[in-house]
Amino acid sequence: MAVIENQVPIQLTVSDLSIRFGGIHALNAVSLAVREGEIYSIIGPNGAGKTTLFNCISGIYLAQEGSIQFNGLDITGMKPHRIAQMGIARAFQNIELFRGMTVLDNLMSARGHAMRYGLFSAAVFIGKCLQEEVRCRDEVEEIIEFLDLQNLRKSPVGSLSYGLQKRVELGRALAMRPKLLLVDEPVSGMNLEETEDMARYMLDINEEMNITIILVEHEMGVVMDLSDRVTVLNFGTKIAEGSPQEISKDPQVISAYLGETQQLSS
């Protein structure tokens, strides 16, 4: 695994990544390096290529040029389920939960890849199958408690408020026991209280679970408060990278956000 100057390992490296849809360059030679244990934010106007970058990292899209390395291994072109098994999980901007299933069952669905038993054990639900089910259930219950969802574990997800569904979406990603968590717009559509709660959970996930987080978010207050470093994309091109303080004063970044200096500095 590569190591940077301050001896913190680089967990994810994106090198000269480019992807085109017809004549549109969704990403144009984008490079970045995410350190183990940090919160790294990717910002930019609508259409900047942020979600496209997430889709490439998680294996949904295959870039025409460039490479992606995770913990020193090349994952470029790898299938999404293999990338997930390696320790990269994703919480989506558009909630992708099973609305008719309970909170508990939604989180348990993310543990399927971790259950190790044969067809016979599964059919009769004894022995190793039962042990694995209990083990995964215990892990999921810990996440439910961590996200303060104890009273809702048996509630159908479709009956919950939007903010709670976003929390369950985050919990399902955590149930995969990731080393790296991709979080796409976690506070979009939330009120102030829900936003503050989600920001607190993100910090706790990073600090208490020691999970590296890459965050895509339009709410600049959240980005500036949570991030160790920030990369800015504009029309598929990386235009800036640095600390939140550096980014908030960068003229190119301010221009990309149509001169919203006050918002970037908040």
Domain positions in the chain: 1-87+178-266, 98-175
Q: How confident is the model at residue 119 (pLDDT cuts 50, 70, 90)?
A: very low
Pick the CATH number of 1-87+178-266 from 3.40.50.300, 3.40.50.2000, 3.30.565.10, 3.40.710.10: 3.40.50.300
At 256, the amino acid letter reads A
Residue 17 has pLDDT above 90, yes or no: yes
Q: How confident is the model at residue 8 (pLDDT cuts 50, 70, 90)?
A: confident
Predicted structure pTM score: 0.85
For residue 262, the model assigns a pLDDT of: 46
- DSSP 8-class letter at 56: H
- 87 contacts 178 by C-beta, under 8 angstroms: yes
For residue 147, the model assigns a pLDDT of: 94
Specify the pairing of strand 65-70 against strand 10-21: antiparallel
Q: Which of 14-18, 19-23, 250-254 has the highest mean pLDDT?
A: 14-18
Residue 44 has pLDDT above 70, yes or no: yes
Span 125-154, pLDDT tens digits: 455 556 667 777 888 999 999 999 999 989
For residue 216, the model assigns a pLDDT of: 95
Report the candidate in 94, 96, 100, 76 with the shortest Cα–Cα distance to residue 86. 76
Q: CB count, 10 Å around CB of 156? A: 15
For residue 113, the model assigns a pLDDT of: 56
Average pLDDT value for residue range 96-118: 76
Q: What is the mean pLDDT of the chain?
A: 86
